[in-house]
Amino acid sequence: MSKKLLIDLLKLRNLEDLKIEGIFRDEKSTAAFKTIRELATFQFTCRKCEIAPCVNACPAEALEKGEDGIVKRAVNLCIRCKSCIVICPFGTLMDNLFEVKTSDYRFFDLNDDSELKKFADAFPADMVSLVDMEEKREENIYKLNDKILIKEKTWS
- 145 or 154, CB closer to ligand SF4? 154
Query: Closer CB to ligand SF4, residue 4 or residue 65?
Result: 65
Identify the DSSP state of 121. H
Question: How many residues contact ligand SF4, by CB under 6 A?
Answer: 26
Residue 106's φ and ψ, nearest 5 degrees, are -110, 125
Alpha-helical (H) ranges within the chain are 9-13, 36-40, 53-57, 83-87, 113-121
| Binding status of residue 94 toward ligand SF4 by CB under 6 A | no
State which residue, 48 or 143, has the beta carbon closest to ligand SF4. 48
Asked if 31 touches ligand SF4 (CB under 6 A), the answer is no
43 binds ligand SF4 (CB under 6 A): no
Note the Cα 4 to chain centre separation in Å: 16
Distance CA 110, CA 146 (A): 11
Sequence-distant (6+) residues with CB within 8 A of 28 are: none
Q: Give burial (CB, 10 Å; 0-12/13-18/19+) of 60.
A: middle
Mask of contacts with ligand SF4, 45-84, x by CB under 6 A?
Answer: -xxxx--xxx--xx-x-xx-------x-x----xxxxxxx
105 touching ligand SF4, by CB under 6 A: no
| Choice between 91 and 124, CB closer to ligand SF4 | 91
Binding residues vs ligand SF4 (CB under 6 A): 46-49, 52-54, 57-58, 60, 62-63, 71, 73, 78-84, 88, 90, 92-93, 98
